[in-house]
Amino acid sequence: MKTVTKHYIDGEFVGSHGREVIDIVNPSNGKVIARVTLADEEDARRAIAAAKRAFVSFRQTTKEERANALRRLHEVVAARVDDLTAAMVEEYGGVVRFAEPIIQAGANAFLATEKALQGLPLTRSWNKTTVTYEPVGVAALITPWNANALFLCAKLASAVAAGCTVVIKPSELSSLQTQVWLDCLHEARLPHGLYNVVTGRGDVVGAELVRNPDVAKISFTGSVGVGKTIMRDGAATMKRVTLELGGKSPNILLDDVVLEKAIPTALGIAFLNSGQACAAGTRLLVPKSRLDAVKRAIVDAMPAFPVGDPADRRTAVGPMVTEKQYERVQSYIRKGIAEGAEVLVGGEGHPPGLEAGYFVKPTVFVNVTNNMTIAQEEIFGPVLCVITYETEEDAIRIANDTSFGLHAFVSGTDVQRARRVASQILAGRVAINGMLDDQQAPFGGFKHSGVGREFGTFGIEAFLEPRAILE
């Protein structure tokens, strides 16, 4: 049994003022694997005070000094990818074949951000006017449980590049991963108070960060509901906010698509991170004329997506993070059936032999209409809705008929046409022919999927304020 009792404040591991202790459960078998002492408001205030002190000098660092810090952070996190992966598998049930590249992507985010920083002018001038881009102040970084290390790295990288000091509140469900990550940060030996980490409840530590006048900026990744609370409560102290929220991403298969390739890709996109991914393509829009062929291709491709032990490299879908999340996915599957959708594969309950953990059956619904609850709400589990369309315009209309706008996918043989369709989708990212990533490209959402963007120069700019000096 592991125990976590300390937070990281002002360059040191310090005992918790908070007294609440929670269990961390391995979602693959329901066993308690760790006890974690949570931070309280006082711990949060100490962390904010440390970040505020450190900001006085860190705000004055040069681009080169910040670039050096980013390279150092990359070095220390890259050295522990294996340990971070093991923690993500054990604590969260992340399948190793997803967890490893996602943590590697977290480490790489420091280098990608350093590259972005080098190309970002922090001063602009014309006539007798000079504009400098100043770090916004102490920033609070709040993350969810589904890809803890990636979000922590990406947010920290942008903040450091901008010259901000930070207080980080990771999800309390990611405590073991956070501990490994903290060892990396300590190892980096960067200025005390530059980063401070307090793991605690959202309505306790998170709320203090949102309320505290010494925090200038909140960079949040999580649910739409909490995002709205942060925006509303942060208004009292005029917080700058970046909100990365949920999604219900459409994946449009154009009628010239090669199904043998596009369907396995579509399932991979839908079941990404066991379906617990904001970017997952959970609405598959297919031409009505090809529905029968699509159904056959899905059934044929399913054996490539085995559910089971997340540590096994063959496994594509692991358990849900908690029993609550398991129940949430089950309730949506029941709702889909009740609303008249047809289960093509999967359905209610545990997969046979996997009753001990929070495993669900990867499920594909057909006969789904876009107004059904399962097509409108984010399920955050391996559940795919197949929706038919008549024409290209119809497909675009259905794709945009959602309150979300985080990500979208378009697949087809005629790339010009795919581009034309992509340009009409209201989403922060649209990937053509596959699940693609570019750490210089902005990530974030239209509509209820959030406010602002992360990654590359876009991510750094979110931590900067322009100041114009006129002579």
DSSP 3-state of 128? coil
Q: Given the structure tokens 């030996």, which residue do they identify?
A: 189
Is 355 near ligand NAD (CB under 6 A)? no
Choose one: 13-21, 73-81, 99-107, 215-223; the region binding ligand NAD (CB under 6 A).
215-223
Which 25-54 residues touch ligand NAD, going by CB under 6 A?
Answer: none
- The residue among 145 and 359 lying less far from ligand NAD, judged by its C-beta, is 145
Q: Of 286 and 320, which has the nearer Cβ to ligand NAD?
A: 320
Q: How far is the CB of 39 from ligand NAD (least distance, A)?
A: 11
Beta bridge partners of 408: 430
* CA–CA gap between residue 318 and residue 411 (Å, rounded): 27
Instruction: Give the torsion sign (CA, 47, 53, 54, 60).
Output: positive
Give the residue at shortest CB distance from ligand NAD.
202
Task: State the minimum distance, in angstroms, from the CB of residue 102 to ligand NAD.
Answer: 11
In the region spanning residues 171 to 190, those forming contacts with ligand NAD, defined by CB under 6 A, are 171-172
**What one-character DSSP code corresponds to residue 350?**
P
The verdict on whether 41 is a catalytic residue reads: no
Asked if 402 touches ligand NAD (CB under 6 A), the answer is no
- Between CA 154 and CA 26 the distance in angstroms is 26
Q: Which of 61, 130, 132, 229 binds ligand NAD (CB under 6 A)?
A: 229
202 binds ligand NAD (CB under 6 A): yes
CB of 215 to ligand NAD, least distance (A): 11
Tell whether residue 234 is a contact of ligand NAD (CB under 6 A).
Answer: no
CA 425, CA 251: separation in Å to the nearest integer? Answer: 11
Stretch binding ligand NAD (CB under 6 A), from 47-55, 226-234, 327-335, 430-438: 226-234
Q: Which residues pair with 3 in a beta bridge?
A: 35
Task: Establish if 379 lies at the interface with ligand NAD (CB under 6 A).
Answer: no
Residues 6+ apart with CB under 8 A from 238: none
Positive/negative CA dihedral, 85, 86, 92, 97: positive
Q: Which stretch binds ligand NAD (CB under 6 A): 45-53, 131-139, 221-229, 284-292?
A: 221-229
Token digits for 413? 């043989």
Helical (H) or strand (E) element with 269 = helix 259-270
Q: Which residue lies nearer to ligand NAD by CB, 362 or 452?
A: 452
Binding segment (CB under 6 A) for ligand NAD, from list 52-60, 220-228, 290-298, 411-419: 220-228
Does residue 203 belong to the site contacting ligand NAD (CB under 6 A)? Answer: yes
Burial track 279-310 (b if 16+ CB lie within 10 A, e otherwise) = bbbbbbbbbeeeeeebbebbeebbeebebbbb
Between β-strands 281-287 and 383-389, what pairing exists: parallel, antiparallel or unpaired?
parallel
Q: Dihedrals φ, ψ of 358, to 5°?
A: -95, 45
The distance of Cα 406 from the centroid of its chain, to the nearest Å, equals 11
Q: Would you count residue 210 as binding ligand NAD (CB under 6 A)?
A: yes
Q: What whole-number distance in Å separates Cα of residue 384 and Cα of residue 271?
A: 8
Q: Which is nearer to ligand NAD, 21 or 468 (CB)?
A: 21
Nearer to ligand NAD, 67 or 406 (CB): 406
- Residue selected from 358, 380, 389, 463 as contacting ligand NAD according to rule CB under 6 A: 380
Residue whose CB is less far from ligand NAD, 167 or 395: 167
Closer CB to ligand NAD, 112 or 230, in the complex = 230
Indicate which residue of 172, 244, 378, 454 is catalytic. 244
Q: Is 278 in the site for ligand NAD (CB under 6 A)?
A: yes
- E strand intervals along 100-212: 123-126, 129-135, 139-142, 166-169, 195-197
Distance, CA of 68 to CA of 64 (rounded, Å): 6
> Alpha-carbon distance 175 to 303, whole Å?
34
Nearer to ligand NAD, 148 or 315 (CB): 148
392 carries an active-site annotation: no
Q: Residue 2 corresponds to which tokens in the numbers above? A: 């592991």
Among 49, 96, 142, 316, binds ligand NAD (CB under 6 A): 142
Are 376 and 335 in contact, with CB atoms under 8 Å apart?
no
* One residue of 55, 92, 98, 145 binding ligand NAD per CB under 6 A: 145
Instruction: Identify which of 96, 107, 393, 406 has the alpha carbon closest to the alpha carbon of residue 246.
Output: 406
Select from 406, 410, 422, 460 the one that contacts ligand NAD (CB under 6 A): 406
Among the options 100, 278, 378, 454, which is catalytic? 278
| Inter-CA distances, 343 with 15, 303, 336, Å | 51, 17, 9
Least distance from ligand NAD to the Cβ atom of residue 304, Å: 25
Select the span of 78-86, 108-116, 245-253, 295-303 touching ligand NAD (CB under 6 A): 245-253
What are the structure tokens assigned to 184, written together? 């990396």
Q: Does 199 bind ligand NAD (CB under 6 A)?
A: no
Query: Active-site residues: which are they?
Result: 244, 278
- Give the interface with ligand NAD as residue ranges (CB under 6 A): 142-146, 169, 171-172, 201-203, 206-207, 210, 221-223, 226, 229-230, 244-247, 278, 378, 380, 406, 450
